[in-house]
Amino acid sequence: MTQIETTAGERMVLYPVDPYYVPEARDTFLQALIQRGLLGAHWRDDRYLVGQRFMQEIVFIGCAPFLRVDPQDDLQFCHLQVFATEEAIFRRSPQAGAPRCPQCRVALISNAVADLEMCPQCHRKMALQDCAWRAGRTVWSRFGINIWTLQKGDAQATDSLLDFLQRLSDVKWKTAFL
């Protein structure tokens, strides 16, 4: 059974393409992100304020937005959260669309909340994370970085940041918007 996260709230997610990847030394990984200037001061739990080089790591599209970066208890401010879970978790944007069979492309039950066992048309066996969803709208991982309040169309991660994460982890990274 696929573990599903239902956390609401718009964010950009940086995540490794290997769903089972977690850094062997998590503190070293965090320190590297802090030194890079992506993460700023630790705020609470697994959350960090934006770092000094945040605006160089993330490119804003169009006119520079007014970004709320001062801590707010309602969490409605731009900050980073480095998450790690015991198992890979499937996360999906409300804009992920209806899933399709990755093999025959037939539309599957819209907004399925449980694992699909088999495609009704071609009988391919699959789980939620195997379905074809709208690109860049789902994440299947144990580890990653949420950048809260960033929305699709507002911002994108630079290639330089994605390369940095890859060098740090030996695995390619991608971006999604949930």
- Between residues 119 and 178, which has the closer beta carbon with respect to Zn ion? 119
**Among candidate residues 100, 87, 169, 85, the one with its CA nearest the CA of residue 137:** 100
Token pair in block for residue 161:
């940041």
Q: Residue 82 or 116: which CB sits closer to Zn ion?
A: 116
Task: Give the residue with the Cβ less far from Zn ion, 17 or 122.
Answer: 122
From the list 177, 175, 171, 178, the residue with the least C-alpha distance to 19 is 171
Q: How far is the CB of 78 from Zn ion (least distance, A)?
A: 40
CB of 112 to Zn ion, least distance (A): 14
Q: How far is the CB of 109 from Zn ion (least distance, A)?
A: 12
Whole-number minimum distance, CB 117 to Zn ion, in Å? 12
Nearer to Zn ion, 101 or 161 (CB): 101
Least separation in angstroms between residue 119's CB and Zn ion is 3
Which chain residues interact with Zn ion by CB under 5 A?
101, 103-104, 119, 121-122, 124
CA–CA dist 85, 147 (Å, integer): 17
Amino acid residing at 28? T
Of the pair 108, 165, the CB lying nearest Zn ion is at: 108
CA distance 115 to 117: 6
